């Protein structure tokens, strides 16, 4: 088998519906089942269509949508894209129907230890995606950024043939896919980038277009959070795997530091606002706050805090991001902080 004949997406929200929909669009002979619930799931079920928006305009792709776990039976590949806090409950709910399917988790946070007791070791792949998708309205998903996704085996028992099938199947979406045999390091690379991105959500700041160009925010919030994360991961013996382009955390840090060189700020501002316009990211944490949903903050900045606790060291900046996001989660009508307020708070927490 060169590509999967039946692909199911468990948790076909922003990421999952886009990947599943694009696979179906580019490879109509593949049976694609989108498992979703709520208004979004109902809309896809009623119309039998997922609408995909992106640089291509809008595509209405015929799919099968369901909320019934039995609908995934007989899948060759399952894309697992629920929020991390839903991982165990959802995987348990679907366990009897996963069968021999290859399962690829494309979630933020580190989920392999959560899925390992439920999915066969030789079938479990995990990954990270630097794409950015959002549900604009039920049944309508937008691709804001089509960055690279990296997948890899969660254990040594995964064979090359399994990896190859997963790679070909996901690549049918025509989104860039890479394989890594050090996937945990690639996940931590992405996680550290997100620790800064999620801090930008506190002030509803556009991370790439506003945040990193704001000297104070960059130097008092973004870089210290990243440096703290790097320190904690080193203490916890977690290696970081380099990823291509600006999705590489070390290259990204170098770029942020370069912005501080005399004259660079103005130059960079002009270049990035003109010819090299950066994408506007709608962080999943921002999307969750706007929808009054629990966020994944405990599994991203919270993962840094967890590792710090394990090593008996402090991670006060990441802990502050976790605390403030929970504060925003706790109100119905979310009012974000101002960027200045956040910059001042982090200056205080860092003690400078």
> Could you say which of ligand NDP, ligand KPL, none residue 342 binds, taking C-beta under 5 to 8 angstroms by partner kind?
none
> Could you say which of ligand NDP, ligand KPL, none residue 87 binds, taking C-beta under 5 to 8 angstroms by partner kind?
none
User: What contacts 125, CB < 8 A, 6 or more positions away?
Assistant: 102, 103, 104, 105, 151, 152, 153, 154, 158, 162, 163, 166, 183
66 binds ligand NDP (CB under 6 A): no
108 binds ligand KPL (CB under 6 A): yes
81 binds ligand NDP (CB under 6 A): yes
Q: In whole angstroms, what is the distance from residue 160 CA to residue 163 CA? A: 5
Question: In the set 64, 85, 93, 162, which binds ligand NDP (CB under 6 A)?
Answer: 93
Q: What is the 3-class SS of 227-286, one letter each residue?
A: HHHHHHHHHCCCCCCCCCHHHCHHHHHHHHHHCCCCCHHHHHHHHHHCCCCCCCCCCHHH
Judged by phi (left if over 0) then psi (alpha if -120 to 50, else beta), residue 45 lies in alpha
* Interface of this chain with ligand NDP, residues 293 to 322, rule: CB under 6 A: 296
> Which is closer to ligand KPL, CB of 21 or CB of 127?
127
86 binds ligand NDP (CB under 6 A): yes
> Could you say which of ligand KPL, ligand NDP, none residue 197 binds, taking C-beta under 5 to 8 angstroms by partner kind?
ligand KPL
Between β-strands 102-105 and 124-137, what pairing exists: parallel, antiparallel or unpaired?
parallel
> Which is closer to ligand NDP, CB of 303 or CB of 346?
303
User: Crossing angle, helix 14-26 and helix 160-171, to 10 degrees?
Assistant: 90
**Residue 283-312 contact track with ligand KPL, rule CB under 6 A, x = bound:** xx----------------------------
Pull the structure tokens for residue 186.
Answer: 């690639």
Contact, 52 vs 22, CB < 8 A? yes
Name the site residues for ligand NDP (rule: CB under 6 A): 11, 13-16, 35-38, 40, 67, 81-84, 86, 90, 93, 106-108, 129, 131-133, 135, 284, 296
Name the site residues for ligand KPL (rule: CB under 6 A): 108, 130-132, 145, 147, 194, 197, 281, 283-284
């Amino acid at each position: 088998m060169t590509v999967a004949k039946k692909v199911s997406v468990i948790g076909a929200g922003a990421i999952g519906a886009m990947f599943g929909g694009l696979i179906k669009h580019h490879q109509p002979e593949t049976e694609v089942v989108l498992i979703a619930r709520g208004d979004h799931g109902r809309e896809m079920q009623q119309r039998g269509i997922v609408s995909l928006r992106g640089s291509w305009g809008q595509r209405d792709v015929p799919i099968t949508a369901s909320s019934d776990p039995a609908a995934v039976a007989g899948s060759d590949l399952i894309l697992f894209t629920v929020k991390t806090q839903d991982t165990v409950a959802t995987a348990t709910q679907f366990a009897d129907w996963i069968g021999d399917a290859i399962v690829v988790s494309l979630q933020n946070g580190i989920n392999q230890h959560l899925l390992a007791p439920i999915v066969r070791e030789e079938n479990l792949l995990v990954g990270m995606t630097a794409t950015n998708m959002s549900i604009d309205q039920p049944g309508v998903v937008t691709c804001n950024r089509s960055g690279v996704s990296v997948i890899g085996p969660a254990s040594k028992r995964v064979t090359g043939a399994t990896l190859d099938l997963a790679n070909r199947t996901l690549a049918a979406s025509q989104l860039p896919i890479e394989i890594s045999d050090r996937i945990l390091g690639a996940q931590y690379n992405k996680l550290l980038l997100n620790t800064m991105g999620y801090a930008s959500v506190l002030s509803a700041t556009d991370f790439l277009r506003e945040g990193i160009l704001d000297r104070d925010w960059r130097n008092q919030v973004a870089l210290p959070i990243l440096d703290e994360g790097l320190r904690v991961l080193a203490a916890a013996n977690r290696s970081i795997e380099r990823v291509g382009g600006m999705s590489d955390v070390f290259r990204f840090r170098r770029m942020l530091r370069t912005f501080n060189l005399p004259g660079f700020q103005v130059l960079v501002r002009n270049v990035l606002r003109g010819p090299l316009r950066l994408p506007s990211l709608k962080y999943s944490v921002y999307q969750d706050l706007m929808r009054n949903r629990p966020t994944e903050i405990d599994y991203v900045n919270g993962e840094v805090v967890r590792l710090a606790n394990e090593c008996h060291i402090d991670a006060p900046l990441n802990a502050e991001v976790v605390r403030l996001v929970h504060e925003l989660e706790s109100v119905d009508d979310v009012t974000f902080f101002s960027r200045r307020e956040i910059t001042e708070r982090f200056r205080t927490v860092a003690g400078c």
